[in-house]
Structure 1
């Protein structure tokens, strides 16, 4: 489970992260990462109806959260991360590799973009 302190809840924060952040995509997930001056790390998930019904969407969200929790400690302070699940994510039994790969590529791009 994603600790409450890491959850992104504000719609404006989602929009800023997606618009201003660096992104990396693969078949199942698009990862957006923006570096801010605000303290802490925040993570948000976007899983639309094209992914599947409510049961499928919730399963995809759980799998993404499970994959990202071990990576939180390695993210730079001030990171804002949004994962957007794509329809093929529903068919993946193990999203971990897609999530972690996309996250690391987006973080590399965001540090290059910032600096």
Structure 2
């Protein structure tokens, strides 16, 4: 995922938290906020130390980034997303992470009508 698709600055995180809506399931909390930028979408990741050690946290972040890359065509453009991983996400593999994120994004109505249907 290119760096233009990432949210890094604290001020950008705070604007999404303050202005956005949150949607959640057991594994993830997703904040969604309409942006005015010229990119399809941007993503910020937050994985607490309570979730696991550095290896586990980085693996979760890799899986989330990969899932968003694979779902790029289905995600509505012009939105910022903050994904917060909860503790159960530490025990998931890549396919389960993608399936869980699809579930949350469908609840947020962030996927197109012809959205990806998981196996």
What interval of TM-score do these two structures reach, taking the shorter chain for normalisation? 0.7 to 0.9
SS of the residue corresponding to residue 34 of structure 1 reads: strand
CA distance in 2, matches of 1:59, 1:7: 17
SS of residue in 1 equivalent to 2:71 = helix
Q: Tell me the equivalent position of 2:117.
A: none
User: Which residue of structure 1 aligns with residue 98 of structure 2?
Assistant: 96
How far, CA to CA, are the matches of 1:76 and 1:96 in structure 2? 17
Q: Which residue of 1 aligns with 2:31?
A: 32
Partner of residue 12, structure 2: 13
1:76–1:13: structure 2 CA closer, same or farther, 3 Å change rule? same
Cα deviation code 1:63-115 (max 9, x no counterpart): 1111111222333332101100001100112211111221232245xxxxxxx
Within 2, Cα distance between the matches of 1:97 and 1:23? 18
The structure 2 residue matched to 1:106, chosen from 96, 99, 108, is 108
Q: Hey, which bits of structure 1, 4+ residues long, moved more than 4 A?
A: none
- In the alignment, structure 2 segments of 5+ residues that lack a partner are 111-119
RMSD, aligned CA? 1.4
Q: Which residue is equivalent to 1:112? A: none
- Larger fraction in helix: 1
Q: How many residues align?
A: 107
TM-score normalised according to structure 1 size:
0.84
Runs of 5+ unmatched residues, structure 1: 109-115
